Amino acid sequence: MAKTILILNGPNLNMLGARQPEIYGSETLDDVAGLCAETAAIFGQETELRQSNHEGELVDWIHEARDSFAAIIINPGAYSHTSVAILDALNMFEGPVAEVHLSNIHAREEFRHNSYVSGRADAVIVGCGPAGYGFAVEQVCACLSDAVT
């Protein structure tokens, strides 16, 4: 059975659409889920999108992905800038990892400039809004198809 692409979202991303729309836009996380599913379908892949406001839950899901998912796309939200635990968990995952940020973290406050997760990510997409998730799906699908050819 084909393994799905797991799309993880960290704290406050459940508020997408209502949260600082001048920075994060008006689309919701459900809209993002739809875009990811549609993009993956073009490549014959499937996606499952999850969101948590809790660091440990994200770590548990990354552990689960080791056996159950082909690739991980992650927007760790604020945990990008603080979480060695999420980086350590991702370092145990063998498939492709893409990191997404809706905003351009490098053009914002200095504390957002470093992401621990970028140390493991195969691709990092910033500042493209929700479209960035679609680009990340395309990228991991390309990696997955390279892996079977």
The residues annotated with a catalytic role in the active site are 24, 101
**Residues 132, 71: Cα–Cα separation, whole Å:** 16
**Residues 62, 135: Cα–Cα separation, whole Å:** 21
From the CB of 78, what's the least distance to ligand DQA, in Å? 4
From the CB of 129, what's the least distance to ligand DQA, in Å? 9
CA atoms within 13 A on the CB side of 136: 35
**Residues 45, 149: Cα–Cα separation, whole Å:** 16
CA atoms within 13 A on the CB side of 73: 32
> In the complex with ligand DQA, which residue's Cβ is closer, 120 or 144?
120
Residues that bind ligand DQA (CB under 6 A): 12, 75, 77-78, 80, 101-103, 105, 112
> In the complex with ligand DQA, which residue's Cβ is closer, 47 or 144?
47
From the CB of 139, what's the least distance to ligand DQA, in Å? 17
> In the complex with ligand DQA, which residue's Cβ is closer, 124 or 143?
124
